[in-house]
A and B are shown apart, each in its own frame.
Chain A
Amino acid sequence: MSLPDTSQDIAAVYRFLAQCMQYPDSDWMNEEFFDVLYNLLGTLGGIEEGVEIRKTINNAEDYIEDLQVEYTRLFINGVPHVVAPPYASVYMDKSLQGTFAGNTLAFYREKGFGLKEDADLPDHIIHELEFLSLLAEEKDLTGEEEFLTKLFRPWYQKFHTRVTEEAHHPYFRVVVMLIDFFTKEEDEDGFQPNEA
């Protein structure tokens, strides 16, 4: 039996995950967005996670500002320190724009992609997810796997751990869990290795 071609669906998932990591703004982070998120979580058996996010948002005086403050603290500048800079090089080279960022950009180029002028650094998680989405659109499964193995998972695991342990808002814990789910390797029997 041949497997269904799911590449366009996977591409949509990566793009959605990239969107989830954008700075929260009411322009896009609206009721429709959350409905789509809850739907995806429900499909995965993550209804409870959706409920937790919904509850936190409903109890907030200004949920967008809460998410903005939390995003700033986790990913930009925070007190006591920025928790999880979303750049691969920070984890692999202990600096922005390290060798790892260079290698990431080189990989984009090998596949015929580059960054727009107003883009963030090449190893920002959003761009890496966008890139994975574009590879999926092009049905470049080998490239996708190579990128995940060599350039995404090595740093993402560390990033994921930091966000999971330090995030105060359930939204970010759930989003990094989703990213983890969709980028994690599985063994031949379909089991994801337990990193813990």
Chain B
Amino acid sequence: MAFNLTRRKFLQTASLAAASVPLSKVVSASTGVTKTPLDAKGTFGDKTVVGGICEMCFWRCQLVGKVRDGRLMKLEGNPKSIDNGTAICARGNAGVKLLYDVDRLKYPMKNVGKRGAPKWKRISWKEALDECGSKLKSTVDKHGAQGICVFPHGASAKYPMHYFERTVGTHNVSEASFFQCRGIRDTAYVASIGKAPGEKIDMPNTKVLFFIGDHLGENVHVSHIKQYVQGLQNGAKLIVADPRFSASAAKADIWVQIKPGTDTAYMLAIMNYLVKNNKYDKAFVEDHTEGFEEFAAAISEWSLEKAAKECDIPAEQIKEVAEMLAANAPHVGVHPGRHVSWHGNDFQRQRALACLAGILGAYYVKGGWVPAKGPKVGGVSWAKEDHGHKYDLNYDHHEDEKVYPFNPPGTPTELIRDCAISGKPYPIKSCVVWGQNPMQTIPGQQKMKDLFNAMDFVMCVDVMPTDVTMWADILLPESSYLERFDYIKKGTQWDLSKEHQQYISARMPLVPAMFERKDQIYITNEIAKRMGHESKIPVKTIEEMVDKSLATANLSIEKLKAEDGIHIQPGKDPYGIPEDFTVMLFNEDIEDAGYPGAPTYKPVPDVPKGYARLLYGRAPVHTFNRSQNNVWLHNAMPDNPVWLNDEVAAKLGIIDGDTVGFVNSEGVESATTTTVKVTPGIRKDCVYMYHGYGSANPLMTIGVGAGVDDQALITKLAIDPETGCSGMRNNFVKLIKDGKVLEIQA
């Protein structure tokens, strides 16, 4: 196809004049390009914009942006920060590439194809919001507020989550950060010490660090890593229990190559040894614990030998660990971990960690668990309303008690999914997904698809076209953390032994939002107006929300800007135990609820013959699937090689670098392949890979099909009985090479 004139000829003939006359009648009057005053070169110099708070992961380091003529050129740590300082990690640096990722969502879109196989059409915000508002309202009118389920994640999801929970009134909200990550830790510690523990170990000043599966160095949070490295530099001993020679195991004084799922048995034996040999902190136990006698009796069966057999480690090594802890108590850091939803016996393991620190007296002392005394800043959100228990899926109306009594905030994911798919005990017909990618964060992908297919309406809000967005009817583009106000970040200096200081900062945009991206306040409020809740809207804009929060600390956005983005004030000494602080070594409430009152070990399913247990963890340059499409991070770590024991590999005839796929014990095959990392640094009965690879969404042009999606292979769900959270490490795989399924001989 070509025109039969040359351009020059055409421009020189009368044809052009004839053709051009009507052209101007059908063009819009205004243009995006316009006449402006002439500016001399050099007036558009680089600017340093303060107030950035990272969200490439959830540690949220403080940033400044180097901006040239409206373009963000580079991110750096805010020099005024007493948390991360000038340091940011690889992911933090690569935020620039998220901001300018061409695959990012730009405009509201409507799916005029099918869920799972979308055909997108750009629509106006008005049309998108009208559709969201009317569909959600229709669900509430027809089925009640409980007819909506919500899967939120991240700082921007808080406000909409509160809207749907508090104002609309649905209990059916499930955050992956709780039910598939750290919720068990928090509720187990609340049941043990009355508080969620965070990762508040005074690592720079500790004498011994005790890790169960923590792989700091691969799991990178900047100020946390600074604390860890400072502790090691100061001579702290490191004890790491991990089936794999992780980055932390590589630095350990004692590496306990434990059998997966048996960590509680290991800790019960340590505690029993300390009790039996009078090597526990008697004064602390006397003053600050409850239930010692029952606790001691309950764990008394756990001899070193019994645990050694169960955990597949030497008894002498358990003793060595116990002795090292006792010799350095109370200045030991028993790390509570972060992602802990592993085997479905996790609440008890987290209880064991809390109790171990308790009998060592390792609370509120140098090197122990020490919650820093940070500044107080109030929050602003939707007003709380009581919606009763009637439609709370986690409430057993016959027994008049909770189904999972120690659940994290929200409703356990499986209760929501089962209800949505079966329609029992009531219909759930609309789904709101906000910043979460349940296709890759929640095990059981088919179940997630079944849920979406059972809905009358699905809406997603995100910055990227993650896998779940393929299931949306309406897809809304959110401004990223570099383009909006929101999160208030506060805390203290990272090394608690140094001058006591507190800081307060608020996320501010480093550049304006591009295209038609909007923030969470705008989107939520507009939906709320359409659902009849306009009078309950707590703030009109995101700036107002931040300013109102800051006002509780006598600050404002303007004041923070004038202070280079971070307000610093004198702090308080965090050491010294509060009189009423108590460690519940034996918790009667737990026993009354029908579970063991003292930490108790529950065995997990063994590896079936021919299979290996699938373990997963974090990559140092990725944040799960959130960063898989980032081109810099992708180039740094393009796929997730599977760790395979060298002896097992030799028997299978596999060499380092071979390409393999997987099939799990339920017959589910991986859609993609990855390479093999042959190493003596992993037990024979396990394989390991980094989580967050192998996106199935072709819109993620960088991340699609790169590496293997471990979540797709996690189809057997273990539910932690006390919390209702997911256990994801009871899945077993075989390798597929050249189309042949290989039996693993451990």
Contact = CB atoms under 8 A, between A and B. Distances in A.
Contacts of B1: 46, 48-49, 173, 177
B69 A12 contact: no
Contacts of A40: 19, 23
Nearest to A71: B122
A46 B4 CA distance: 8
Contact of A68 (B18, B105, B117, B121): B121
B534 to A, nearest CB: 26
Interface residues of B, number: 69
Nearest to A194: B2
Contacts of A124: 32
Interface string B98-118: 011111011101001000011
B106 A186 contact: no
Given A15-B23, A44-B4, A49-B1, A120 B35 contact: no
A110 to B, nearest CB: 8
B7 A109 contact: no
Nearest to A128: B33
Interface size class on chain A is 35 or more
B122 A76 contact: yes
Interface in A20-75: 22-23, 28, 32-33, 35-36, 39-40, 43-46, 48-49, 65, 68-69, 71-73
Nearest to B30: A116
A18 B30 CA distance: 11
B23 A36 contact: yes
Given A9-B16, A43-B18, A130-B33, A85 B122 contact: no
Nearest to A79: B698
Given A72-B109, A79-B118, A130-B31, A6 B7 contact: no
A78 interface: yes
Contact of B3 (A4, A68, A114, A181): A181
A167 interface: no
B120 A78 contact: yes
Given A71-B122, A77-B120, A97-B100, A18 B27 contact: yes
Contacts of A81: 103, 698-699, 701, 704
Contact of A126 (B25, B32, B631): B32
Nearest to B24: A12
B97 interface: yes
Contact of A6 (B17, B23, B515): B17
A114 B34 contact: yes
**Most A C-beta atoms less than 10 A away, residue of B33, B71, B121:** B33
A173 B69 CA distance: 34
A16 B69 contact: no
A149 interface: no
Nearest to A80: B698
Contacts of B41: 106, 110
Contacts of B30: 116
B22 interface: yes
A92 interface: no
B376 interface: no
B17 A69 contact: no
A175 interface: no
A35 B25 CA distance: 11
Contacts of A19: 26-28
B106 A76 contact: yes
B9 interface: yes
Interface string A169-192: 000010001000110101000111
Interface string B612-648: 0000000000000000000100000000000000000
Contact of A18 (B31, B118, B631): B31
Given A77-B109, A96-B102, A134 B33 contact: yes
29 contacts: A6-B12, A9-B16, A12-B20, A15-B23, A15-B31, A23-B122, A28-B28, A33-B26, A36-B26, A43-B15, A43-B18, A45-B5, A76-B122, A77-B103, A78-B699, A79-B698, A87-B102, A95-B102, A97-B99, A102-B69, A109-B36, A112-B37, A114-B34, A116-B31, A116-B32, A133-B31, A134-B35, A173-B1, A186-B7
5 smallest beta-carbon distances between A and B, as pairs:
A80-B698, A119-B32, A45-B4, A114-B36, A9-B20
Interface of B: 1-12, 15-28, 30-39, 41, 44, 68-72, 97, 99-103, 105-107, 109, 112, 117-122, 465, 470, 514-515, 631, 698-699, 701, 704
Interface of A: 3-4, 6, 8-10, 12-13, 15-16, 18-19, 22-23, 28, 32-33, 35-36, 39-40, 43-46, 48-49, 65, 68-69, 71-73, 76-82, 85, 87, 90, 94-98, 101-102, 105-106, 108-110, 112-116, 118-121, 124, 126-127, 130-131, 133-134, 173, 177, 181-182, 184, 186, 190-192
Given A72-B122, A118-B32, 4 more contacts: A10-B16, A36-B26, A45-B3, A97-B72
